[in-house]
Structure formats: C-alpha cells, structure tokens
Structure 1
Amino acid sequence: MKYRTIFLSDIHLGTPGCQAELLLDFLRRNDADNYYLVGDIIDAWRIRRKGFLWPQAHNDVVQAILAKAHDGARVHLIPGNHDEFLRSYLGTHFGGIEVVKTADFIAADGKRYLVTHGDQFDSVVVHAKWLAHLGDRTYDFMLWLNTRINRLRHLWGGQYWSLSKWAKHQVKQAVNFISEYESVLTAEARRGGYDGVICGHIHSAAIRDIDEISYVNTGDWVESCTAVVEMDDGRLTLIDWARAERRSRHRSRRARRKEKPLQNA
C-alpha cells in the first residue's frame, strides 16, 4: 500500500519487547513519500542499564528505513526521551535521515500539525527523571511477565493479550495521566496556531478531536504495533498492524478449511 506519509514512534530497538518482525512486515508491505519517526526509535535507557541487545531483526529495521531514504523518501527523526542522545545531532543527516527537534507537518488538505515525541510535556520525565526510570523498569517487568502469560494463552488457542495495556485502562491514575497528557499536547498545538498535534511517548494510540484540535498518537511497536498514515486527501488513519495480521491469518485458516472438502471430493 502506498501512502503520502507514514508516522511511527516508540519502536524501542534494543529491547526484548520490540516487535521488530512485525514492523519489518509493515515496512515491506507499505510505502510512503514521507516518514516521520516520532521518538524512542532506539532505547538507550535499556542498553545503558542491561547492556547491548541488537538481534538481526533490529538491524534489519534500521536497514529498511535507510533503504526508504535511499529510494527517495524524506525521513525525519524526532528524538524522544529514550533516544535523547540524538538531540545532540539536531540538523544532522544520517544516511538521508534528518534529525530534528520537532517538525511542522502540512497535510494534503492544508491542515498544519505539530510533530513532537511528547516527553517534554510529561511532568514525570521533566521534573522526576528517577521516577521515569523506575517506571521504565516496572514496564520491562510487565512485558517479561506478559510474554509468559501469552505463551500459555497460545497453548490454549487464545489471542495475544497486553498486560500493561490492560493495567493502564484499569488504573484510574494512569487513565487520568493519559487524559492530562492529551490536554497538554492539544493546548500546546493551539498556542502554536496548529490544527493538530502528532506525538507518541505514552504507548496509547489514538486519533480524536479535543476542543477542535486534532490529537494524534502513533502508539508503539512494543505492544500495540500501530502506525498513523496519511491518505492522498490528507486524512490521517490509525493502522493496528498486529490486529490486521491476526485477521489475515484467521482468513487464511478459514480459506484452507473450506478448500479441504473440495480436495477430498
């Protein structure tokens, strides 16, 4: 599928939770003229804490993105808090990928969006970084536990289930934090005269209007495996690649089951 623009964030290369194979599948089957990598592409926090983890699939993701740039696509990289070391290279080009602090994005329908990772609007990251690191370790544990839960669910024929996503929706404080984050980001967009904001950071994909400002969160490639794409008419659409793949596999199984009686006839 060809789009005008693709937005990706929170890939977290360098961590066991990164769904690199699913992202590679997405990149192989989808193309765009413009790409925005909206922060936390590489997880330097985890690398510094636990050492270098870089499977071949993670390297393949980097090569796939570089190939897009080599083939003529414009690729913008906006660092997040987990790859904040890249903020020392603002204005630099790496293999055709431009590193920028934030970006102004004008869609095909003329709407103007602020593109930012969003961590600078997270009071925990800004004012209590130690607490953000503690939360990151807790999140790592939840992903580790979630992997083992889903191995058992797979044995029982169940679908993938996200423990941390469930926890976010169950804990009132987390829900309030997400709501406050969305409000702060849309207020910043309004102050800048934008029609909307495109961000990441909180691993909670969404496209909605808040007080006439479009709030767009690309989600992540650790749990939800989501991306935001721009159609030729400027519409922004959320793609849940993990869900799409599950549906595709389900359709394939149904088709094979229908073919078996014909083959045996």
Structure 2
Amino acid sequence: MPQVRTVFLSDIHLGTRACQAERLLEFLREHPAEKLFLIGDIVDFWAMNRGIHWSPAQNTVVQKMLRRARHGEEVILVPGNHDEALRDYCGTVFGDIRVESEWVHEMADGRRFLLVHGDEFDEVTRYHRWVAVLGDIAYNLLVRINIAISWARRKLGIAGYWSLAGYAKRKVKRALQFIFDFEQNVIRAARERRLDGVICGHIHWAAIREIGALTYVNCGDWVDSCSAIVEHHDGRLELIRWGERKSFANPVPEMAEEI
C-alpha cells in the first residue's frame, strides 16, 4: 500500500532559479500515493518570459510525475495563474496526466473538498495584473536573498530554517489582511457548493485551519517553505514542511489548528 492516499502540491514554479526541485524529489521519493493533485503554478510561464532556468533536477521532477501517472497513480493538474496557458487544455489528458479547471476530491472519510489554485479569488491578480507581476518579481528577489542568508546561517552553525519572505509577510499588515480576505473568499466558494472544505495554493502560505464549519487548506509552495499536504488512508490531512523536515499533523479534522 502507498505510504499516503493522496498528495497535494502547488506553486512549484518549475523554470525558475527559486524552484527547490531537489527537495521536492526527496519528498516525492518518500511519499508514494494513490493520487497526486498538482494545484497550480507548477510551471512558471510568467518568470520564463523574463528568462528560463531549467535544471536537471527540474527535468527529473517532470519525468517522475509522468512516471507516477504511467504506473497507475491518478495525477490531476489544476492550472494556476503562472501556468494559465494550460487552462486552454482543461478536459484533456497529457501523458496520463489530466488537466482540469477545478476538482472535487472525496476524502477516505467521506468529506468532499474543492480543489482550486485560488487566483480567481485574488482581486489583485484578476484586475491588476501588472501589480501582481511586480509583486512576483519582488517575492522572487526575497527568495534569492534568503538562499544567501540560509547559506550564511549554515556556515555559522545556526540551526533551523528562517524565511525572509515569510518574515516580510508577517510584518506587513496589509499582506496579512490580504491573506485573511483570500481565505474568506475561497472558503465562501466551498460553502456555496455545500462542500466540506477547500484545498488551494497561490499565496505561498501553508495552512490547515477550521473556518466556521469548513476546513481551509493551503499547500504552500516549493520556492520558499517547501511544504505539501498529504491525506492519510483514514482521511486525516497533514501539512508537511519538508524544508524543516518536520510535519504538523491534523489528527482530528474538527480540531484543526492554524499552521
């Protein structure tokens, strides 16, 4: 039996220097599953318009996903805003990977979750694309600076992982308000469809939390936090922060806490 029932990934941003493909490969090797959901921004066409960085490890990530699909694992891709060109192919299959605009996934315990990338609930991305592009450039700069900071911390023997991009988000009140508004908008869509929750990406802020009677889940990203969501065979959801090599479990869905 695979180690977990389902793996949920988002915001890998293949094609960029910030993509941490090596860590993703480590995670995938240790988490075989029955189903793999790729919830948007898997390939970063926005960044690739400015310059392509495609490493051997990133190529291996694509090959591994295709291999998993070919060997019977159900793999579904829900495009995001950075790979929105793939939305023209929703409803089709490429190399045994299905492309869908959204998906409703039923957990092993019967709960039903809406799977969307989330950019459709982000007013900046929808109505002010140029602001979103500038924000993306600034975020990538912070991530690249953080690589240098992490190297210096290792050389100095400082344990643990510290994210400059995450620190900036926590310190900027407007950014935190944006995250709160985003969560409310996404969970409202699940509520209107009479579902039990939503699993999304987009904002690079991994979380499992209860909002009212519904469960909000965000996969995080693989450029900064290196985080993923897995579903166990009993329907439990778990947030795994691979960058820290620690996991934060959600053993009882009704008692989910903010991560």
Q: Flag structure 1 segments of 5+ consecutive residues without an equivalent.
A: 247-265
* 1:3-54 deviation digits (Å, cap 9, x = unpaired): 11110000000111111000001111111001100000000000001x2211
Return the alpha-carbon distance in structure 1 between the equivalents of residues 132 and 52 of structure 2. Answer: 21
1:55 aligned residue: 55
Amino acid at match of 1:147: I
Percent identity (aligned): 50
Aligned twin of 2:255: none
Paired AA for residue 129 in structure 1: R
Between the two proteins, the alignment pairs up a number of residues equal to 245
Partner residue of 2:177?
176
Deviations 1:212-257 (A, max 9, x none): 11000011111111111111111111111121179xxxxxxxxxxx
TM-score (norm 2): 0.92
TM-score of the two chains, using structure 1 as the length reference:
0.90
The equivalent of 2:134 in structure 1 is 134
In the alignment, structure 1 residue 92 sits paired with structure 2 residue 92: yes
Alignment of 1:106-125 (within 5 A): 106-125=106-125
Mapped partners of 2:192, 2:152: distance in 1:
49
More helix by share: 1
Query: Secondary structure of 1:243's partner?
Result: coil
CA distance in 1, matches of 2:143, 2:111: 37
Offset from partner CA, 1:56-85 (integer Å, 9 cap, x none)? 000000011111101100000000000001
Amino acid at match of 1:99: V
Please name the residue that 1:145 is paired with: 145
CA-to-aligned-CA distance 1:137-156 (integer Å, 9 cap, x gap):
11111112212222222211
Displacement after TM superposition at 1:160 (Å): 3.2
Name the counterpart of 1:196. Answer: 197
1:161 shift after superposition: 1.7
Whose radius of gyration is greater, 1 or 2? Answer: 1
Q: SS where residue 147 of structure 2 aligns?
A: helix
Deviation >4 Å, runs of 4+ = none
In 2, the alpha carbon distance for the partners of 1:4 and 1:148 equals: 36
**Which residue is equivalent to 1:252?**
none
Amino acid at match of 1:178: I
**What letter is aligned with 2:116?**
T
Stretches of structure 2 that go unaligned for 5 or more consecutive residues are 248-259
1:73 matched to which residue of 2?
73
Per-residue deviation, 1:208: 0.6
Name the counterpart of 2:254.
none
| CA deviations over 1:78-136 (Å, ceiling 9, x no partner) | 00000001001111111110000000101111111100000000000001000000101
Two-structure CA RMSD over aligned residues (Å): 1.2
For residue 251 of structure 2, what is the aligned residue in structure 1?
A: none
Say whether residues 1:224 and 2:225 are aligned partners. yes
**Contact 2:41–2:80 under 8 Å retained in 1:** yes
Cα deviation, 1:149-193, whole Å, max 9, x if unaligned, reads 222222111243210011101111111111111111111110011
Map 1:217-256; keep pairs closer than 5 Å: 217-244=218-245
Greater displacement, 141-150 / 200-209: 141-150
Match of 2:39 in 1: 38
**DSSP-derived class of the 2:98 partner:** strand
Whole-angstrom distance in 2 between the partners of 1:83 and 1:118: 13
